[in-house]
A and B are shown apart, each in its own frame.
Chain A
Amino acid sequence: MVVGLVGSRDPGGKRRRTLAATKLGKGAAWLSRTAGLGEGGIIGGRVAMALDRDVLSGLASGRTVVLVTGTNGKTTTTSMVTRALSAAGPVASNSTGANMPDGHVAALMARPEARYAVLEVDEMHLDIAAEQTKPAVILLLNLSRDQIDRVGEVRTVAARLRQVVVDSPQAVVVANADDPMVVFAAEPAQRVVWVSVGGGRWTGDATSCPKCGERIDVSVERWACACGLRRPEPAWAVRDQTVITDSGRELALQLNLPGQVNYGNAALAMAAVAQLGVVPEAALPRIREVSEVAGRYGDLVIGGRKVRLLLAKNPAGWHEMLQLVRASGRPVMLVVNAREADGFDLSWLWDVPFEQLAGLQVVVAGERAADMAVRLRYARVDVTMNPDPVEAVRMTPPGDLDVIANYTAFRMLRVKGEA
């Protein structure tokens, strides 16, 4: 029966296929949960997709979809958009960060009644997600170097996103006007809403132009390249701790999440939901409720000590998190792995300004603690090393501490720690 459904060509069969695939996917999810294998979302999505490769399109049809992508802040911004959009109705979302098509299928299967869907999308999968869900809004946050051994050059990623924008004429693109890679990707959109996210986002000061390769100095606000690519005039902008909306109103952000980058994420989220009729005054109070995102910025107990857990996966992310721990002045533990999901190459640690940790007590842990220890040694930071994070916590001075971990290390700590 299943084989017959997959191979079916009758025009009325699509809806039935989606239903059947969904049902079997849910069964798999239930089995996975019951067997204690996990939360069941991904496996359910995988089963449904194996049975019907267009299941995502079937599940998305009739819903208003927002896709969120970029290098950093995807999960946080998805959470903000979801919270804000719930002012308009029920929202389905892959809130745990399972950002590939199986995660999207699982999220939509879980909330069949939701009129809206807000999906975080891995940069390399935006094409499939957009083709299948026909989004009303595509939100482009930022693009910087990430896992170069897996994802490849940032320029290549920007070019792929640009093609998705071209192929999605129905979508309003809400995009970061300060990031040349994003501007290049969003430029050909039929309708684009530019948002200036303000400071705090690391770019390495200068970048090679995505269009022509020449140098662009992005330390100046109104950056421009000789080839014509330049910062567009933003409709929305972050200024200090406020957002200026497209109608010129200035609202104090007052977020619960720390860090300047989250002002930019909030402004992008507000601009996105405004396209769907949620006014900033309704969106902002809901965005403020976001205080922890899938464990990020949350408190945990590890080795008997209270820690604030921060995630950083690439140079831009580390730069942001270093600013946070620098400001708090607490002892710091850095935990680094280099599994496939992290990228096997850690050379980029040398592009992160760890010199700013000088004067803090730093311990390093994780499977690649030695890479981090060498980096800190040469940055003249006092460092103690122990691959086991629980043991390493015990080597820090007393009191609460800040922990920055990369992706698989972060997941491991959430399992080891107690909330």
Chain B
Amino acid sequence: MNGNPGPSAVRIALVLPDMLGTYGDRGNVAVLAERLRLRGIGSEVVEINAGEFVPADCDLYMLGGGEDVAQLVAVRHLRQQGTLVQAARRGAVVLAVCAGMQILGTSFVGSDGVAHGGLGLLDVNTRPMPKRAIGELVVRPDPAFGDELLTGFENHGGCTYLGQDARPLGAVLAGVGNGVNGVEGAVQGRVIGTYLHGPCLARNPAFADRLLAMVTGTELAPLSIPEVDALRTERLRAAGVR
């Protein structure tokens, strides 16, 4: 619990961090909760580990990256329960990073070389890429997500192809991203996938606030954290973008 959890508190689900928690992506949840608190808005973080029930009534669902075998276990758990899909269809906001994005797609090829069905929330499918993409990633986002460049660190071996119903999160300025057509991530309704670790929302405060605005229905007051500005400047420069 954080701030003033009440009827208006934002409920954030951290989905299967024990399976999809290899790359620090739980930090996205910490960032959202703190940015709400700093504006006097309450939040409640619900952490759901494997074997536990995913509630269908959260406002935001966060999934992270994970190891190949754990990814297969995670998708099985989520498919059996069905509640994440229900929540997304109801209009909850979902941010899924790396392996998290892959399992929300229609299919992905696992470490076993076999194609597995995903949850189908994103019209994307993922296949192995010849060489693992590791390094700084910079993306110019779709205007719906603001004009601030997205910075992050990617570490994945999947090539993600977009189908007709999904659009990219943005255009790659540095790094690999999806590995197809110079684009990164996927957006479909209020479900967003990306390869940006860092964590993504720690490095990209405007993107974090965009997600919160989607949930609260109002633009949030500006918030200045000088260390975040310093980090962004440094990382964008390291990627050769500024």
Contact = CB atoms under 8 A, between A and B. Distances in A.
Interface of A: 145, 148-149, 153-155, 204-208, 212-215, 344-345, 347-351, 370-371, 373-375, 377-380, 383, 385
B135 A344 contact: yes
Given A149-B155, A347-B24, A213 B197 contact: no
14 contacts: A149-B134, A155-B69, A208-B19, A208-B66, A212-B69, A213-B70, A215-B18, A344-B153, A345-B23, A347-B27, A349-B24, A351-B24, A371-B231, A378-B27
A208 B67 contact: yes
A246 to B, nearest CB: 33
Interface residues of B, number: 37
Contacts of A212: 69
Nearest to B34: A378
Given A148-B22, A153-B68, A370-B231, 11 more contacts: A206-B50, A213-B70, A215-B51, A345-B134, A345-B197, A348-B23, A370-B227, A371-B231, A373-B227, A374-B225, A383-B227
Contacts of A204: 18, 21
B11 interface: no
A340 to B, nearest CB: 12
In order of increasing CB-CB distance, the 3 nearest A-B pairs are: A350-B27, A347-B24, A215-B50
Contact of B69 (A208, A344, A349, A350): A208
B24 A155 contact: no
Contact of B31 (A205, A207, A378): A378
Nearest to A153: B67
B22 A145 contact: yes
Interface string B71-89: 0110000000000000000
A71 to B, nearest CB: 14
Interface of B: 18-19, 21-27, 30-31, 34, 49-51, 66-70, 72-73, 134-135, 153, 155, 197-199, 202-203, 225, 227-228, 230-231, 234
- Give the secondary structure class of A's interface: mixed
B148 to A, nearest CB: 16
A346 B164 CA distance: 35
Contacts of B197: 345, 347
Given A213-B72, A370-B234, A153 B49 contact: no
B153 A377 contact: no
Contacts of A154: 67
A373 B230 contact: yes
Contacts of B230: 370, 373, 385
Contacts of B231: 370-371, 373-374
Nearest to A156: B67
Residue of A154, A345, A383 with most partner-chain B CB within 10 A: A345
Contacts of A207: 18
A148 to B, nearest CB: 7
B22 A214 contact: no
Given A213-B73, A378-B31, A206 B18 contact: yes
Given A208-B19, A208-B70, A374 B30 contact: no
Contacts of A148: 22-23, 155
A154 B231 CA distance: 28
A208 B111 CA distance: 15
B228 A377 contact: yes
A318 to B, nearest CB: 12
A350 B29 CA distance: 10
A370 B155 CA distance: 21
A215 B198 CA distance: 25
B50 A214 contact: yes
